[in-house]
Structure 1
Amino acid sequence: MREHDAERTFAALPPAHGRGFAQTWWGRAWLKALEDAALDSQQVKTGRRLARAGGVGAVSVRPGRITAVVQDHDRTTHRADVLLQELSAEQWDRFLDMAVERAGHIAALLDREMPPHLVEDAADAGVELLPGLGDLEPECDCGAWDHCGHTAALCYQMARLLDQDPFVLLLMRGRSEREVLDHLQVRSVSPGEEEPTPSEEAPQEGVDAAEAYASGSILPPLPSAPELPAQPGSSPSLDTETPPAPGVDPAALTFLASRAATEAHRLLAAALAPGHEQEGVEEELTLSQDAVRLAADASEAAIAARLAEGAGRGQEELEIAVRAWRYGGAAALSVLEDEWLPEEEPLARARAALESAWDDDDRPRLRASHNRWTVIGTSTQLRLGRDGRWWPYREEHGHWLPAGPAAHDPATALASADGEA
């Protein structure tokens, strides 16, 4: 991919096989706008076959328009364009004002996610991000006045690009990723308050300024910020001729010292990072959770056994918990252990997303139990976390094991569980 100002060009994607084109809910919403508006469903099917066969060349995306050369099955080529109306300056202002008030929206976009509530909040502000019925306007040199197989193929290919990066949609709506982030940064800076005039200042008690300035030369200079070591410090050697006190395990102490040095190095790196701001204390872990965190870095069997005992788990249970921890820390561990009953509304949205992600013949059948959905006839499962994300699981040797990181879209999580993400 190359990027220049307000245009991005994506190299041709390889042929697509298997499941439906769009894996994310926003990618499917894009295709729904095409499929609902096209007058000739046969042209839509032709476009899907062309895109699936790899007939769409490099895709150029710029404000209001996407363009690609599409090759027919007989190897003739056509230039296809699809137009989408850009947002007005006023609409962009409303969208950016909304987004800057909700930091989670921007974090999701930077993670290449587009949560439904971002689109819903934008709509409440009078800004429609996703295309609706008739919003995707086709232009093709084949002479068709409605969507033809070439423009439909371009739309299907675009759905795959949107799956990877929702900022592509914002570019079509008029602004590049860099422009959006720059405008958000400007809006996030609180305007400085007007300084009071001397007559408005209340009298203050303290050190006289002239006296403080005169004595400044006798004070030591402030220390400079420390430099970040390239590696965490090594733990001291406890291998001595003196036997340890009863109940003291030198190997365990060495391990704990090494982990403390690694954590200190991580915290220092975060504190010295440009633009670092302390936003609060990290959530405190329980004793059992902290034992799992330590076990994720324990290579010696004896230490892992002690941590399993401290966590109140068997060795196999600890290994599964460690696997969950490596995918998502305390949140993933909670999903492994907690079974709870979500509200019906998010479950209904998830069912609709899963049903529309596959072609009719490939659609999975689900058996729901609280926040855990099992795909009938397979060894795959989805689990909903309390933060609204879906976690993929696979059954191996009679145990449900975490199979990948979380995703806001259940179809994406299920693809990860299938090993096809």
Structure 2
Amino acid sequence: MSWEYFDEYPRYESVAKRREKAEKLAKKIAAKQGPLQPAVSKGQKIATSFWGQAWNRNLERYAEYEHRLPRGRTYVKNGLVIDLKVERGAILALVSGSEVYEVRINIKPLGVGRWKSLKKACSGQIASLVGLLQGKLPTSVMEAVTDEHEGLFPEPREIQFICSCPDYADLCKHSAAAVYGVGARLDDQPELLFLLRGVDHTELIANAGDTVAAQAVALDAIADGELGDLSGLFGIELDMGEELAAAVEELKPKKKKRAGAKKAAKKA
């Protein structure tokens, strides 16, 4: 529910109307600029994964943001973040309001010393990195990456909000919507957090310790049906060797043949 102002009197505009308006604007912009990447929340929760929820909790623990964040949550839930892109050191978004506003949020890169400390904290814990796909991390790794001052998530002093709207506040509702949109996006692409902070997540894997132990964890995870393509997740090739690769294939769920295919085979 929202109010748009015309002269001195408020004019009510329903959520459905605002969503419809946002969809039309998105189609118009996409026709000129190419496909957009809207930030989509899942039901009542903006984020459901460990990474998405941790991002949102990090924002919500800072008092200077608490009065503006609720409007941003509403914007995301109503589908008003019509485009969201995450790149090294920046979040770029288009947010539909009384018009389409351009948002840019600059995030300082993670300090070299801080990154080294995180790599050390994750060293030898490859199980937590494989579990990144589902956000299943040991307590020690969770504490390291979510630490308020030494973790992966940015502090207010590392964030700069820029929006084309006339709001004079440092964090306007459109910027708040964009940062919450990142939480939703991290549900599906947790690696974007590392990209945003300017660090290479494969360095954590390289520092994960014993390769044999890592492979054993991978086998267990595949056997339990918890993981899909590990190489795709981390963007690297896992050199498992012929015997281990054969074991992985053996553990993967077998595809059932279609009944029609069986009948055709019998006739032949």
TM-score normalised per structure 2: 0.56
Structure with higher RCO (Cα < 8 A, 6+ apart): 2
C-alpha separation between the residues in 1 aligned to 2:191 and 2:45? Answer: 22
Equivalent AA in structure 2 for residue 171 of structure 1 = L
Report if the CA contact (8 A) 2:88-2:195 is conserved. Answer: yes
Does 2:204 match 1:151?
Answer: no
Structure 2 unmatched runs, 5+: 1-34, 211-236, 248-252, 257-268
Aligned pairs for 1:7-86 within 5 A: 11-13=36-38, 16=41, 18-37=43-62, 39=64, 43-72=68-97, 74=98, 76-86=99-109
C-alpha separation between the residues in 2 aligned to 1:71 and 1:116? Answer: 39
C-alpha separation between the residues in 2 aligned to 1:149 and 1:61? Answer: 19
Aligned-residue offset at 1:81? 2.2
Structure 1 unmatched runs, 5+: 1-9, 191-272, 283-292, 298-421
Report if the CA contact (8 A) 1:38-1:146 is conserved. Answer: no
- Give the fraction of aligned pairs with identical amino acids, expressed as a percent: 23
Report if the CA contact (8 A) 1:11-1:57 is conserved. Answer: yes
Aligned pairs for 1:46-195 within 5 A: 46-72=71-97, 74=98, 76-109=99-132, 111-113=133-135, 115=137, 117=139, 118-122=141-145, 127-132=150-155, 136-142=159-165, 143-175=167-199, 179-181=200-202, 183-184=203-204, 187=207
Equivalent AA in structure 2 for residue 157 of structure 1 = G
Q: 1:218-275 deviations in whole A, cap 9, x for unaligned? A: xxxxxxxxxxxxxxxxxxxxxxxxxxxxxxxxxxxxxxxxxxxxxxxxxxxxxxx972
2:5 aligned residue = none
Hey, which of these two has a bigger chunk of helix by percent?
2
Measured at CA, do residues 146 and 36 of structure 1 come closer, stay the same or move farther in structure 2, by a change above 3 Å?
farther
Alignment RMSD:
4.0
C-alpha separation between the residues in 2 aligned to 1:150 and 1:18? Answer: 20
Equivalent AA in structure 2 for residue 113 of structure 1 = G
C-alpha separation between the residues in 2 aligned to 1:81 and 1:14? Answer: 15
SS in 1 for 2:47: coil
C-alpha separation between the residues in 2 aligned to 1:57 and 1:38? Answer: 28
Aligned pairs for 1:9-408 within 5 A: 11-13=36-38, 16=41, 18-37=43-62, 39=64, 43-72=68-97, 74=98, 76-109=99-132, 111-113=133-135, 115=137, 117=139, 118-122=141-145, 127-132=150-155, 136-142=159-165, 143-175=167-199, 179-181=200-202, 183-184=203-204, 187=207, 275-277=239-241
Equivalent AA in structure 1 for residue 83 of structure 2 = A
Q: Runs in 1 of length 4+ with deviation above 6 angstroms?
A: none
Q: 1:89-145 deviations in whole A, cap 9, x for unaligned? A: 232233234434211122122x25262632324578x83113456654422222533
SS in 1 for 2:201: helix
Moved more, 19-28 or 148-157: 19-28
